[in-house]
Structure 1
């Protein structure tokens, strides 16, 4: 039995080489690449990250690599990596195919940890993947391709909500004092955001693309969905008033009374739209959760988020006719927190099964060692080492996503402008009559990158 357990420990360590995050926490793996995004060489060593796409966490590495290439402005390569992630999600959706590798990873995770389970991102990551792929298409000059992707992101918001409700039915009765306290803390940290699968940022991008494609009815629907999630954003309010007036909708009088009349541009003016992304989503941390089994107290590790300080200010935009202040459209960190909260009961269920399996294995080893009468201490030591090494919280998540997204809009006279956002360097943009200049500002620490397109 001692030889068997020792072999199990060795095989588990070897398995960890194939499963990148089983023994090495994911945030420490991605930290160097996040640091590079705040440098002149954002894609340095990017091939090292891309080489992991064939591994157990391949979907996650594809998302990270696609995002890094996107922040760096290489939209074509970003499209390729995002497509790999999209294909991986589609493979998860195919319920008819159960590969031997999936069965094997499930068995391994029972004795190791959740990091041995192939990564399938939470709903908000998948939604944002299609949204970002849409922006890749848009900034590559393919507006129709962009519309296909944002329509898919809208479909996923409904699908993920239904999937979550179904998954919760089997875990509603799980209870643990430590986990209950963490659930309450996560709820406080998420603030007014109550789900991970309703994303005003994605709805807003969808509405914007519909409007730019001269589909105002579809734009109005998506702007209204975004406004239901983020009701205090005055730029969304103005969009709704303007489109309701343009389409002669019955809601126009109500919207006008609540938010004021729509601003009507002159023929010589164009529209400037800002999307400002700030910071990075927080990393998951690890907490210890006690589990009593047969009067013995066992411990396990689960992931959580620590309380986050709010971002200090709204983004200030200088250089147009009048200064602008961007307003929040989505807190991506709150979506991440809610995703973890939604998954915590299921994670607790898996962890309880894992702790029980390890406990039974430990009892078996001790029983065999007592019969051998000479290997009690050695057997217990091997099991203790195995339990310590294998007990790792699943801290995987898409860490190059922004922490917050903001928007701002203004109609200005056609011409050239020298703008800046917060403390960024100035960048030049052009505004043309009756057209929209879309500016995407991505802040990664002390650096802001600008991408613009006229549509």
Structure 2
């Protein structure tokens, strides 16, 4: 690991990168990220940041290469037990430094977005089969995590007073909202459904649209897609329940219509902040002693983004949210907190033992050096994939075939685009808004 990784906050390291991203200067932002080295603890995280920025810059080839390197690490990590053993050495080192020395572990919600963006890279490179492989990978991540959602907690002999922690730790409920866990991502299921439709696999598309609807039951576009395919596939039992809940499916009046699907990415995910708490740790004889904990937290509330609106022949169509990545990130951190607390409690006690040893061997100077090291090295692990969007919305329209002029209106900013609609085909538009920057990219499925 690098010296900066141990003693510097991750968000602070990426401050210039995020500034360039918010201005829409994605190539500059990617160039500002320190070259990813395989022996660094932030190797995969640096690659994720660069790959996302290259995607935003429409450099799908380079983005695909960087995401592929991350996937290689994930595959090796899953297949080779020796990698887990080597990481055990880093985990042991964290007992006398901080969690920042541990190789970055990509959480499930970030893995699903990795595969989703890789699928989009393949789409914009005209490779549908490659995109299908990636959405299957994204779905597999969610399925595996759902089966093992009961988090494995690190075992330790030291007890932290959870009541004291709950009273002192800032609430993240405003960031989390009403989501149930930190990994189920309706957006990845929806993208998967789109690609299965494009590949003429309606049964698979139906399954994934239903999965997305289970997560976002109030999204009207998901409701319509599930109703449409339930009708097409003659899912009699499902259709009765769906019709009772959402109403009867209204087929488009144009028999030869094409589809325009818009994916709207808004904002950039917030970085984790550090919070310092004085909490008691109970020893083997059940005697409490207070230590200063440095823990990550998401502060603030969720940003309200304007919806995209489109006016067609006097009818207004409005985009709807399909994932709030900021909420997934906050929920993921909440789920990690028991193991974070346990590791830090073990580390604080280990550092205290080190301080006592140095004090005995080096007197006052040894004691002072140990205290200075302990304070400097005890940094909260604030790492996360920071170039991700805050949220994603969707909008879907049926349109007559041919060249169509569509006026996009988002937050009072309008843009006229030309879209070639093909009969019974899907045109996919990816719209990105970050700060004052707005751009779009278009492909045919």
Verify the 8 A CA contact 2:182 2:329 in the aligned structure 1. yes
2:325 is aligned with 1:338: no
Runs of 5+ in structure 1 lacking a partner? Answer: 1-14, 370-374
Which residue in the other structure is 1:329 paired with?
A: 322
Bigger drift between 286-295 and 334-343 goes to: 286-295
Q: Cα distance, 1:184 vs. partner? A: 7.9
Find the aligned partners of 1:194 and 1:98 in 2 and give their Cα distance. 32
2:195 is aligned with 1:190: no
Question: Which residue, 158, 161, 164 being the options, matches 2:146?
Answer: 161
Find the aligned partners of 2:168 and 2:133 in 1 and give their Cα distance. 39
Find the aligned partners of 1:182 and 1:416 in 2 and give their Cα distance. 56
Verify the 8 A CA contact 2:165 2:279 in the aligned structure 1. no
2:26 is aligned with 1:42: yes
Runs of 5+ in structure 2 lacking a partner? Answer: 282-286
Q: Cα distance, 1:166 vs. partner? A: 4.8
Q: Once superposed, which parts of structure 1, at least 4 consecutive aligned residues long, lie more than 6 Å away?
A: none
Offset from partner CA, 1:138-167 (integer Å, 9 cap, x none): 121111111111011111112123344251
Cα 1:217–1:61 shift into 2, 3 Å = same
Question: Which residue, 377, 384, 406 being the options, matches 2:371?
Answer: 384
DSSP 3-state at the match of 1:151: helix
2:285 is aligned with 1:301: no
Find the aligned partners of 1:170 and 1:164 in 2 and give their Cα distance. 18
Q: Cα distance, 1:312 vs. partner? A: 4.3
Q: Cα distance, 1:106 vs. partner? A: 2.3
Find the aligned partners of 1:410 and 1:171 in 2 and give their Cα distance. 55
Find the aligned partners of 1:280 and 1:171 in 2 and give their Cα distance. 36
DSSP 3-state at the match of 2:152: helix
> How many pairs align?
433
Find the aligned partners of 1:347 and 1:379 in 2 and give their Cα distance. 29
Which residue in the other structure is 2:354 paired with?
A: 361
Find the aligned partners of 1:262 and 1:351 in 2 and give their Cα distance. 54
Which residue in the other structure is 1:255 paired with?
A: 242
Which residue in the other structure is 2:262 paired with?
A: 274
Which residue in the other structure is 2:124 paired with?
A: 139
Superposition RMSD in Å: 2.4
Find the aligned partners of 2:164 and 2:306 in 1 and give their Cα distance. 34
Cα 1:16–1:61 shift into 2, 3 Å = closer
Q: Cα distance, 1:34 vs. partner? A: 2.1
Question: Which residue, 84, 97, 118 being the options, matches 1:112?
Answer: 97
Find the aligned partners of 2:81 and 2:294 in 1 and give their Cα distance. 33
DSSP 3-state at the match of 1:43: helix
Cα 1:45–1:190 shift into 2, 3 Å = closer
DSSP 3-state at the match of 1:264: coil
Q: Cα distance, 1:180 vs. partner? A: 2.2
Verify the 8 A CA contact 1:174 1:348 in the aligned structure 2. yes
DSSP 3-state at the match of 1:308: coil
Find the aligned partners of 1:388 and 1:418 in 2 and give their Cα distance. 57
Q: Cα distance, 1:179 vs. partner? A: 3.3
Verify the 8 A CA contact 1:281 1:403 in the aligned structure 2. yes
Bigger drift between 410-419 and 201-210 goes to: 410-419
Verify the 8 A CA contact 1:287 1:302 in the aligned structure 2. yes
Question: Which residue, 62, 70, 73 being the options, matches 2:55?
Answer: 70
Find the aligned partners of 2:49 and 2:311 in 1 and give their Cα distance. 31
Q: Cα distance, 1:406 vs. partner? A: 0.6
Which residue in the other structure is 2:384 paired with?
A: 397
Q: Cα distance, 1:318 vs. partner? A: 4.8
Offset from partner CA, 1:357-395 (integer Å, 9 cap, x none): 0111111222234xxxxx42x222211210111010000
Cα 1:324–1:127 shift into 2, 3 Å = same
DSSP 3-state at the match of 1:118: coil
Offset from partner CA, 1:246-285 (integer Å, 9 cap, x none): 1111122332233233232313421111111101111101
Which residue in the other structure is 1:292 paired with?
A: 280
Q: Cα distance, 1:208 vs. partner? A: 1.2
TM-score computed with the length of structure 1 as normaliser: 0.89
Find the aligned partners of 1:451 and 1:45 in 2 and give their Cα distance. 19
Which residue in the other structure is 2:284 paired with?
A: none
Alignment of 1:189-268 (within 5 A): 189-250=175-236, 251-265=238-252, 266-268=254-256
Q: Cα distance, 1:95 vs. partner? A: 4.3
